């Protein structure tokens, strides 16, 4: 009798957990959330304007600087008749295991116009200024990589101090909803670990820069790719080919790489500097690159070499000065020797910077007058690290190279991407980027 009661009690507790917590209730690794204070779809979990994220709940909303509102028209499907909106950026956060996730978002409002930009984890651009009219909702799908530093029971990535606690390495999936009036009606999340992955290995010009005003092309690349391929950005500021290996970052990538996945490799900025991680262009630099190539190929992966972005330095005639020496050429030659696909970002950025000219090219980099950002008493003038606009233009360069030279990858480009000529770049005044709440005036590692 006592044993039976214990079994029934345990079963009842498990039932309560399943009906009250979507992290337990998810079926087939799918989580469904209906956002708003109105009617709730029977298959969805309600997320109201008062559903604040907590570790114990395991999901919820965060609004750092504003207030969350629920708007509704009182008619229509329960899933789309109401939404969560704000006049500031807000976040949806959920505890999830490591993996790749396909996320279907219903954006818009039955009660008002909306404009929503979606970023994931550390400001990865997923959707750009999705506009809807009053009464209109749009379904958009994105895919996001969620990862941990642990490789196995005894091995883990050696994170830098600035990475500890970042959204890229925590126990959550985090979505940022931003724009002039971000509005979200529902979120459906499901595992997508069978999708092909583009792994990025590189330095500060590639990594997901966590704070304004810094950015890199790797975190803008998802904007130009369809939700049938995942970008897993393992790059980090200040790293070299040698330190990337030493910190177990390459092992981390290789541990989860599947046949058919891609490994993009861009290094040189820090590798050319004196010190224990220095390598010479046509010898040790090529040797280290060859190691990355071979490790990817052992797992059935496809290596892609990316020549390093130029620094912004002009001569008196208005031509760009090469500050990277023979490293880009060494990579070009190695790509031919090893029959590896190449994205010549070094050549494309030379064309890009010169197209803007010495003065206007400052818009591509972190050049801001004093007091542009809170507590910024001095002007920022960095000719290596990119602004959000610069990172966006560079990601377009990468996407254009994929379109023109890499047919296997070109199938994953968004249909709205028609190509890009770095000699005829976008006008800075037409670029729209809603600032994320997080700002850090400290320059990223590397130069």
Tokens 């998802």 correspond to: 222
83 and 173 co-located in one domain: yes
Domain endpoint, select from 193, 225, 248? 193
| CA angle (76, 82, 88) in 5-degree steps | 150
Instruction: Give a yes or no: residue 131 inside a domain.
Output: yes
Mean pLDDT over the full length of the chain: 93
* CATH number for the domain that contains residue 317: 3.40.50.1110
Residue 298: pLDDT above 50?
A: yes
**Which of 254, 238, 215 minimizes the C-alpha distance to 159?**
238
Domain endpoint, select from 193, 210, 234? 193
Percent of the chain with pLDDT strictly greater than 70 = 93
**Which of 364, 351, 362 minimizes the C-alpha distance to 424?**
351
87 and 225 co-located in one domain: no
Instruction: Give a yes or no: residue 7 inside a domain.
Output: no
208 and 188 co-located in one domain: no
- Nearest-10 Cα torsion for 266, 268, 271, 273: -150
272 and 184 co-located in one domain: no
231 and 361 co-located in one domain: yes
What total number of domains does the chain contain?
2
Rounded average pLDDT over 367-383:
96
Instruction: Give a yes or no: residue 439 inside a domain.
Output: no
Instruction: Give a yes or no: residue 65 inside a domain.
Output: yes
Q: SS3 of 297, please?
A: helix
**Which of 13, 195, 172 minimizes the C-alpha distance to 95?**
172
- Per-residue pLDDT tens digits for 104-152: 999 999 889 999 999 999 999 999 999 999 989 999 999 999 999 999 9
Alpha carbons 240 and 279: distance in angstroms, whole number: 9
Alpha carbons 400 and 402: distance in angstroms, whole number: 5
Instruction: Give a yes or no: residue 176 inside a domain.
Output: yes
- Strands 136-146 and 99-109 turn out to be antiparallel
* CATH number for the domain that contains residue 181: 2.60.120.430
- Per-residue pLDDT tens digits for 340-363: 999 999 999 999 999 999 999 999
- pLDDT higher at 332 or 22: 332
Range of the domain at 396: 195-424
Instruction: Give a yes or no: residue 116 inside a domain.
Output: yes
Residue 74: pLDDT above 90?
A: no
Give me the residues paired with residue 314 across strands: 320
80 and 149 co-located in one domain: yes
Q: What is the pLDDT of residue 165?
A: 82
Please tell me whether the peptide bond between 213 and the residue prior to it is cis, using omega within 30 degrees of 0.
yes
Instruction: Give a yes or no: residue 1 inside a domain.
Output: no
170 and 298 co-located in one domain: no
Instruction: Give a yes or no: residue 337 inside a domain.
Output: yes
204 and 125 co-located in one domain: no
């Amino acid at each position: 009798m006592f044993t039976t009661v214990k079994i029934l009690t345990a079963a009842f507790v498990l039932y309560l957990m399943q009906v009250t917590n979507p992290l337990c209730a998810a079926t087939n690794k799918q989580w469904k959330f209906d956002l708003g204070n109105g009617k709730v779809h029977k298959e969805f979990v309600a997320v109201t304007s008062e559903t604040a994220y907590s570790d114990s709940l395991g999901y919820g909303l965060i609004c750092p600087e504003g207030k969350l509102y629920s708007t509704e028209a009182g008619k229509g499907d329960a899933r789309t008749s109401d939404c969560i909106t704000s006049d500031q950026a807000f976040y949806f956060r959920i505890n999830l295991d490591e993996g790749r996730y396909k996320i279907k978002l219903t954006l818009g409002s039955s009660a008002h116009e909306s404009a929503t930009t979606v970023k994931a984890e550390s400001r990865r651009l997923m959707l750009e200024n999705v506009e809807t009219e009053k009464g209109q909702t749009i379904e958009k799908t994105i895919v996001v990589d969620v990862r941990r530093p642990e490789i196995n029971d005894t091995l883990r990535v050696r994170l830098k101090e600035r990475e500890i606690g970042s959204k890229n390495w925590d126990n959550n999936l985090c979505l940022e909803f931003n724009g002039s009036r971000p509005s979200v009606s529902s979120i459906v999340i499901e595992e997508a670990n069978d999708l092909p992955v583009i792994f990025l290995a590189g330095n500060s010009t590639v990594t997901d820069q966590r704070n304004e005003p810094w950015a890199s092309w790797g975190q803008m690349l998802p904007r130009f790719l369809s939700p049938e391929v995942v970008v897993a950005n393992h790059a980090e500021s200040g790293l070299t080919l040698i330190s990337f290996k030493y910190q177990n970052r390459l092992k981390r990538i290789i541990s989860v790489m599947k046949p058919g996945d891609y490994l993009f490799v861009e290094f040189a900025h820090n590798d050319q500097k004196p010190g224990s991680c220095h390598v010479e262009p046509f010898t040790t630099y090529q040797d280290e690159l060859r190691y990355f190539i071979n490790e990817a190929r052992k797992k059935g992966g496809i290596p892609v070499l990316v020549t390093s972005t130029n620094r912004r330095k002009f001569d008196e005639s208005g031509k760009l000065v090469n500050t990277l020496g023979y490293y880009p050429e060494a990579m070009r030659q190695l790509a031919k020797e090893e029959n590896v696909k190449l994205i010549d970002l070094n050549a494309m950025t030379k064309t890009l910077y010169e197209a803007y000219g010495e003065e206007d090219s400052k818009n591509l980099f972190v050049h801001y007058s004093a007091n542009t950002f809170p507590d910024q008493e001095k002007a920022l003038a960095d000719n290596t690290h990119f602004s959000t606009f610069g990172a966006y233009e560079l990601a377009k360069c990468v996407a254009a190279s994929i379109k023109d030279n890499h047919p296997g990858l070109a199938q994953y480009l968004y249909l709205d991407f028609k190509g890009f000529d770095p000699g005829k770049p976008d006008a800075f005044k037409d670029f729209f980027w809603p600032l994320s709440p997080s700002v850090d005036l400290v320059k990223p590692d590397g130069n």
